[in-house]
């Protein structure tokens, strides 16, 4: 399963799933990325969000860029999972 991942890499698909990656491996990676994204986003609102809002604007942008990259990777992993389940 040599599926290219398109989340923001500077020049096209930089990352690829390993040939031996199966649906379970993709689900494990997707679950890990989901928990990471939820943890990062938890620091941007409510009482925890105060510290985020006091950060330098450049650091805030970089932080949210990391969140965006995780979300895009999750989208790619979900598409790879759908392809794996279809047998592609």
CB within 8 A of 53, min separation 6: which ones?
60
Residue 44 lies in a domain: yes
- pLDDT band at residue 8 under the 50/70/90 scheme: low
Residue 8, in any domain of the structure: no
74 in a structural domain: yes
Closest CA to 1 of 13, 11, 14, 16: 16
Entry pTM:
0.80
φ and ψ of 5, to 5 deg: -105, 135
Residue 46's pLDDT is what?
A: 94
Instruction: Name the residue range of residue 63's domain.
Output: 22-86
Per the structure, how many domains does the chain have? 1
pLDDT tens, residue by residue, 20-52: 888 999 999 999 999 999 999 999 999 999 999
């Amino acid at each position: 399963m040599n599926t290219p991942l398109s989340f923001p890499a500077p020049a096209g698909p930089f990352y690829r799933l390993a040939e031996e990656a199966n649906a379970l491996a993709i689900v494990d990676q997707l679950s890990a990325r989901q928990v990471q994204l939820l943890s990062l986003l938890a620091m941007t609102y409510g009482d925890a969000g105060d510290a985020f809002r006091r950060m330098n604007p450049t650091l805030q942008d970089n932080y949210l860029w990391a969140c965006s990259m995780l979300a895009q990777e999750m989208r790619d992993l979900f598409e790879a999972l759908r392809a794996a389940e279809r047998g592609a």
